[in-house]
Amino acid sequence: MVPKHSVKRTKHAAAQHPNTAQHPNTAQHPNTAQHGAVNERTAKQRSRGSGMGRVLIVVYLILAVAATGRSFYQIVSKFDEAPFAYSLSALAALVYVVATIALIKRRGIWRTVAWIALVFEFSGVVIVGILSLTHPELFGHPSVWSHFGGGYLCIPLFLPILGMLWLKNGDEMDRDAAEEAAAETDSNRGYSAEGSLY
């Protein structure tokens, strides 16, 4: 049996420490629910973005293989018939290969490479498409980008736009994630400093 005077001393000590129940470290962090909601929303956005990215990469891979095979056959078998058009086809194939690799890796320097490849690709499709309509005598035979990629259902015209939108969305999500992480770190530091006062 615990002596009555010991029980009284314990109650007296608890009464003398009024902040015990209010100590900040015993309560839930005020931003926990908020950060949880933000993280869940970011995860959903990344999931949708990754799904679009996989489709984009598959289409780029198909175009890279098709354009490479086409340009190789044209250059080997009949390059003298339309050297300008077939050279453009080879250039398009190279761009698709680089873009595919850059989109697969898409981190660090490869993200920059992806941006450059997509901008170059879109510019090439537009310029070659216009030239193929205004100066058809330059080509002799259609290239991959002739008539704005009409031989490929104009996919070469719209694909780089989708790729740039996907990269832009990824850049924004990365910035948001970095800002959230920095804000959470600052909040945790302030919370720890407040708790140390007790």
Domain with 94 in it: 48-167
Residue 97 within a domain: yes
Helix (H) or strand (E) holding 91: helix 83-105
The pTM score is 0.67
In a domain, 3, yes or no: no
Q: What is the DSSP letter of 29?
A: P
Rounded-to-integer distance, Cα 157 and Cα 151, Å:
11
Distances (CA, A) of 180 to 32, 37, 167, 186: 12, 12, 20, 10
- Residue 21 in any domain: the answer is no
Q: Does 33 reside within a domain?
A: no
- Residue 10 has a pLDDT of 47
Q: Is residue 42 part of a domain?
A: no
Q: How confident is the model at residue 51 (pLDDT cuts 50, 70, 90)?
A: confident
- Residues written for the chain: 198
- The helix/strand count (H/E) of the chain reads as 5, 0
Residue 157 in domain: yes
pLDDT in tens, 161-192: 999 999 999 867 666 555 666 666 666 666 56
Distance CA 104, CA 19 (A): 55
Mean pLDDT, range 128-152, rounded to an integer: 94
**Placement of tokens 């216009």 in the chain:** 130
DSSP code at position 2? -
Residue 88 lies in a domain: yes
Query: Is 30 inside a domain boundary?
Result: no
Structural domains of the chain, count: 1
